[in-house]
């Protein structure tokens, strides 16, 4: 009898020590609860530890009984092959996750902005290119484009890609680029969710002083911008396509803009000569501002300030591309589209710790995917995982204090 009583007491103590993390998954394509989705609960610690798995019920609901925690757990929902993530605390507000039905074909797809910046190595034997594609998915009803090749693009012959990444919403992560059966044509392998997805790549190609480049696309492009030092001559195949749009802040850099480019339009151009991007923006005394004060919109060096930017979002993106070269690259350009964001779901909190946590979650997801696919060796995996864990823990702690 004593043993039975002790067992019951222990069970009650364990139940009291546990709490419930609840959530609901909404299918934003059908505007109905998403039933049968696999939900994985992950804990931040020594690695991304799987705590439990379940599936959503007929009402799209799920729940986990877990110990109370000071740090949020991570909820991963897989819907039709695409993963959507959210953070939540046991006993806190139920987690709401928006998902979309997947399709291998989305007609309402276009390139809102395609920006490319070109420069040569000091000896003139190598051409470096950095390109951004802001892809707009305006599907109605909203659907995620998924498949082996989601965004296809062309690069100069002999190009070697050194870096490729994707930003979806406010998160950025590495993304795979694969060659296609067509010569010089490549493709990103990354689902394109409703709203805007920004693709970024850096590449190099052997250069002999002259080269023809054809940045054509199978999608309609609202704005195509080519940025190059003025020591590099630019000659469009069709002179009526591009307009030289000078920027006073960058007197030794040329900006060539083509608008409303169709898939059939000829956008090829030839470059000749050599040159590097300037290391600093060429500011005049009138726009430098007071000592210690950051430059106005378009300066692009360092951390972006929070003052309103009067420039068109497209022009801001193009200046950001140039800024990446000036700052030696590495930071992804952010643009916003509030109308599209409203379709995609609720806005992500804008404080830095929240943004960092979202970015780290996606990066950890990518790291785990690489491990499962054998794309990273165990030693590199452990090193990257440890660094991500520490950064993610700090971001979570900051966010918890802020709330």
Q: For 21, which DSSP code?
A: E
What pLDDT sits at residue 12?
46
Instruction: Report pLDDT digits (tens) over 386-399.
Output: 666 666 656 555 55
Mean local confidence (pLDDT), 108-121: 93
What does the CA dihedral 179, 184, 188, 193 come to, rounded to 10 degrees?
-140
pTM of the entire predicted model: 0.67
Instruction: Tell me the CATH number for domain 2-99.
Output: 2.60.40.1120
**Measured in whole angstroms, how far is the alpha carbon of residue 296 from the centre of its chain?**
25
Mean pLDDT of 150-174: 87
> So where are the chain's domains?
2-99, 109-286+309-338, 349-402
Pairing of strands 109-120, 221-229: parallel
Q: What is the pLDDT of residues 321-343, one digit of tens each?
A: 544 433 322 222 322 233 333 33
Which range of 38-42, 370-374, 376-380 scores highest in mean pLDDT? It is 38-42
CB atoms within 10 A of CB 283: 15
Q: Are 2-99 and 109-286+309-338 in the same CATH fold?
A: yes
Cβ contact 74:42 at 8 Å:
yes
**Per-residue pLDDT for 177 more than 90?**
yes
pLDDT score for 89: 86
Q: Which pLDDT score is estimated for 221? A: 94
Q: What is the DSSP string of 49-70?
A: EEEEEEE--TTSEEEEEE---S
d(CA 24, CA 95): 6
* Domain range 109-286+309-338, CATH architecture: Sandwich (2.60)
The tens digit of pLDDT for each residue in 213-233 reads 999 999 999 999 999 999 999
Find the angle CA(176)-CA(81)-CA(378) to the nearest 5 degrees.
Answer: 50
Please count the other Cβ atoms lying within 10 Å of the Cβ belonging to residue 123. Answer: 8
CB-CB neighbours of 299 under 10 Å: 20
Q: Encode burial over 56-65: b for 16+ CB neighbours within 10 A, e otherwise.
A: beeebbbbbe
| Greater pLDDT, 383 or 257 | 257
Q: What percent of the chain has pLDDT over 70?
A: 64
**pLDDT greater than 60 at residue 239:** yes
Assess whether pLDDT exceeds 90 at residue 350.
no
User: Using an 8 Å Cβ cutoff, are 73 and 156 in contact?
Assistant: no
Task: Check pLDDT > 50 for residue 297.
Answer: no
């Amino acid at each position: 009898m004593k043993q039975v009583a002790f067992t019951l007491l222990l069970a009650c103590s364990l139940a009291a020590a546990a709490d419930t993390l609840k959530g609901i998954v909404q299918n934003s394509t059908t505007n109905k609860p998403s039933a049968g989705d696999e939900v994985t609960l992950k804990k931040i610690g020594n690695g991304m530890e799987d705590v439990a798995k379940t599936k959503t019920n007929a009402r799209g609901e799920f729940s986990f009984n877990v110990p109370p925690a000071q740090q949020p757990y991570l909820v991963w929902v897989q819907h039709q092959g695409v993963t959507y993530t959210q953070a939540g605390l046991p006993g806190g507000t139920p987690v709401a996750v928006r998902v979309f039905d997947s399709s291998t074909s989305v007609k309402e797809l276009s390139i809102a902005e395609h920006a490319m910046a070109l420069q040569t190595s000091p000896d003139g034997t190598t051409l470096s290119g950095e390109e951004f594609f802001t892809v707009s998915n305006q599907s109605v009803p909203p659907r995620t484009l998924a498949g082996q090749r989601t965004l296809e693009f062309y690069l100069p012959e002999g190009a070697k890609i050194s870096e490729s990444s994707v930003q979806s919403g406010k998160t950025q992560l590495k993304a795979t680029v694969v060659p296609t059966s067509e010569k010089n044509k490549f493709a990103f392998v990354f689902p394109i969710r409703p709203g805007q997805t920004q693709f970024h790549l850096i590449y190099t190609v052997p250069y002999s002083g002259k080269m023809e480049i054809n940045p054509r696309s199978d999608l309609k492009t609202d704005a195509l911008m080519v940025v190059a030092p003025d020591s590099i001559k630019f000659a469009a195949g069709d002179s009526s396509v591009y307009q030289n749009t000078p920027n006073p802040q960058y007197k030794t850099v040329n900006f060539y803009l083509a608008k409303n480019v169709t898939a059939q339009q000829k956008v090829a151009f030839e470059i000749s000569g050599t040159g590097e991007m300037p290391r600093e923006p060429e500011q005049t005394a009138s726009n430098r501002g007071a000592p210690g004060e950051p430059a106005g919109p378009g300066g692009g060096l360092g951390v972006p300030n929070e003052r309103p930017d009067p420039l068109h979002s497209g022009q801001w993106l193009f200046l950001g591309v140039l800024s990446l070269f000036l700052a030696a690259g590495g930071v992804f350009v952010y643009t916003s589209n509030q109308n599209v964001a409203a379709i995609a779901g609720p806005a992500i909190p804008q404080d830095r710790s929240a943004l960092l946590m979202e970015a780290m979650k996606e990066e950890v997801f990518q790291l785990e995917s690489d491990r499962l696919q054998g794309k990273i060796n165990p030693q590199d995996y452990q090193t990257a995982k440890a660094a991500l864990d520490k950064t993610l823990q700090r971001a979570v702690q900051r966010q918890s204090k802020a709330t």
